């Protein structure tokens, strides 16, 4: 375990980041969320017990691990409180291990209404957001009018800012979207109660993380969503509103770039996407259905069905390069057991002129077709395997093919949902 590791999803989210962070956090002192909000759903399975985390970092199951929410995170008061209460009912007290930066933006009920109203107005072209108010909250942050956790502690100024902001939201909701408005007094009451709840957890997480780093402690930065959902580098406009990539880990935690020793990229052995937007390797057929049922591909936050398709090495290679990924963890290999052959997308053909292209943030994924390389599948079960040597020959070949194509080693392979179902002995 390196002193400071960043764990990033390299696809459209749900790669298994939560499982991997929980595993590597066993040897860490701190785990940090640095972007996104409760749009994330990170699943941890330990000894048949399942936890789905949305805002709380995936190190929380380890008693000695400090959990940080850096300034890049957006926080829904109800979601944070609900998640902490639920976890405490199962784990006992955890609040003394949670630290929240005062610059985190607050998701207001009117942000959620705006998110829903915008999606509704878009109709068929909607993004398919999680409906958690993420986009509108980041909009207000970048417009420099958003409410931050630290604002709660100057109540007079805070109420004035909140009134102005909710009045503006209500104007949009009523006059532009012709939908219901939000009761300003209800918002104030909610924030006042939240202020008391959150106060003991608010501290300068940037300084605390630097101090940990300087004293040689080990830190894991936990990404949410994935590279293709990045606001700048992803499949715009079908993306989330935060920097899911390596840059977000720096600005959202406050740690300097030199402090990062390892960038562990997480990718599924195939690809999934939840929400709308182009997906070149999507299999809207029996293959996709099989991946869906075998991989239990339902969203951990919204319960929506995830779309499924073959591994897209063109997009994966780009995500590895742009994020400076040093090593890869391939998850859900077991879902591919039993396929006679396994396809991997190794090239995009540009629709219209047929020229080949790679993926970059300027690629319009709706205008490319996937070209595949066919590899032999395996019939043996890889489910819950923990030793590299025990993998079927063709599964090993699959891993080697991926490594050769993307140019970084696969150091970890996940073979089942539980913490234990992981291969880490590959040298």
- For the annotated catalytic residues, the residue numbers are 14, 42
Does 77 contact ligand IMO by CB under 6 A? no
Which does residue 254 touch among Mg ion, ligand IMO, ligand GDP, none (CB within 5 to 8 A, set by kind)? none
- Using CB under 5 A, pick the residue from 41, 234, 265, 277 that binds Mg ion: 41
Residue 274's binding partner out of Mg ion, ligand IMO, ligand GDP, none, with CB under 5 to 8 Å set by partner kind: ligand IMO
Stretch that binds Mg ion, among 58-66, 110-118, 177-185, 300-308 (CB under 5 A): 300-308
271 touches ligand GDP by CB under 6 A: no
Q: Which residues pair with 50 in a beta bridge?
A: 45
Contact with ligand GDP (CB under 6 A) among 2, 4, 7, 14: 14
Q: Which residue has the tokens 């929400």?
A: 275
Q: Which does 61 bind (CB under 5 to 8 A by kind): Mg ion, ligand IMO, ligand GDP, none?
A: none
Under the phi-then-psi rule, with left for phi > 0, alpha for psi from -120 to 50, and beta for the rest, what region is 397? Answer: alpha
Which stretch, 14-22, 152-160, 215-223, 336-344, contacts Mg ion (CB under 5 A)? 14-22
Q: Is 275 in the site for Mg ion (CB under 5 A)?
A: no
Q: Does 248 bind ligand GDP (CB under 6 A)?
A: no
- How many residues bind Mg ion (CB under 5 A)? The answer is 3
Interacting positions 342-401 with ligand IMO (CB under 6 A): none
Q: Cis omega before residue 342 (within 30°)? A: no
Stretch binding ligand GDP (CB under 6 A), from 39-47, 127-135, 362-370, 372-380:
39-47
Among 6, 7, 10, 17, binds ligand GDP (CB under 6 A): 17
CA distances from 291 to 14, 58, 190, 272, 388 (A): 14, 26, 42, 9, 23
Contact at 8 Å (CB) between 388 and 426?
A: yes
Sole binder of ligand IMO in the list 240, 281, 414, 418 (CB under 6 A): 240
Q: Name the residue nearer to ligand GDP (CB basis): 173 or 229.
A: 229
Query: 319 - beta bridge partners?
Result: none
70, 158, 416, 423: which one binds ligand GDP (CB under 6 A) = 416
Task: Single out the segment in contact with Mg ion by CB under 5 A; choices: 65-73, 192-200, 295-303, 377-385.
Answer: 295-303
Q: Does 335 bind ligand GDP (CB under 6 A)?
A: yes
Query: Is residue 300 close enough to count as binding Mg ion by CB under 5 A?
Result: yes
Contact positions vs ligand GDP (CB under 6 A): 9, 13-19, 41-43, 45, 295-296, 300, 331-332, 334-335, 414-417
The residues of the shown chain that bind ligand IMO, judged by CB under 6 A, are 9, 12-14, 39-42, 127-130, 132, 134-135, 224-226, 229, 240-241, 274-275, 300
């Amino acid at each position: 375990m390196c002193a400071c590791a960043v764990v990033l999803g390299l696809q459209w989210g749900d790669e298994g980041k939560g499982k991997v962070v929980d595993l590597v956090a066993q040897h860490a002192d701190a785990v940090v969320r640095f972007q996104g909000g409760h749009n994330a759903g990170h699943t941890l399975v330990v000894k048949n017990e399942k936890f789905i985390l949305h805002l709380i970092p995936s190190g929380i199951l380890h008693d000695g691990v400090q959990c940080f929410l850096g300034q890049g995170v957006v926080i829904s008061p109800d979601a944070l409180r609900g998640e902490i209460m639920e976890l405490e009912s199962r784990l006992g007290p955890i609040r003394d291990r949670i630290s929240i930066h005062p610059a985190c933006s607050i998701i207001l009920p009117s942000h959620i209404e705006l998110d829903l109203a915008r999606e509704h107005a878009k109709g068929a072209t909607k993004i398919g957001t999680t409906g958690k108010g993420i986009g509108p909250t980041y909009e207000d942050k970048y417009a420099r009018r958003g409410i931050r956790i630290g604002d709660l502690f100057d109540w007079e100024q805070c109420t004035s800012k909140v009134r102005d902001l909710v009045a503006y939201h209500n104007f949009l909701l009523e006059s532009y979207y012709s939908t219901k408005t939000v009761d300003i007094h209800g918002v104030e009451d909610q924030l006042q109660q939240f202020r008391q709840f959150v106060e003991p957890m608010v501290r300068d997480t940037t300084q605390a993380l630097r101090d940990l780093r300087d004293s040689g402690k080990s830190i894991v930065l936990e990404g949410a969503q994935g590279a293709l959902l990045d606001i700048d580098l992803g499949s715009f406009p079908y993306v989330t509103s935060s920097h899911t990539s390596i840059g977000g880990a720096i600005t959202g935690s406050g740690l300097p770039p030199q402090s990062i020793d390892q960038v562990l990229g997480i990718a599924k052995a195939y690809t999934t996407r939840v929400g709308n937007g182009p997906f070149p390797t999507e299999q809207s057929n029996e293959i996709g259905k099989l991946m869906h049922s075998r991989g239990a591909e339902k969203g951990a936050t919204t319960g929506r069905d995830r779309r499924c398709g073959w591994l897209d090495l063109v997009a994966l290679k780009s995500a590895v390069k742009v994020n400076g990924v040093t090593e890869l963890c391939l998850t859900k290999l077991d879902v591919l057991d039993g396929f006679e052959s396994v396809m991997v997308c190794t090239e995009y053909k540009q629709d219209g002129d047929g020229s080949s292209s790679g993926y970059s943030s300027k690629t319009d994924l709706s205008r490319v077709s996937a070209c595949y390389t066919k590899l032999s599948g395996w019939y043996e079960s890889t489910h819950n395997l923990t030793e590299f040597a025990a993998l079927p020959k063709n599964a090993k070949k699959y891993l080697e093919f991926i490594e050769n194509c993307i140019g970084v080693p696969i150091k970890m392979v996940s073979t089942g949902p539980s913490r234990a179902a992981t291969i880490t002995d590959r040298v």
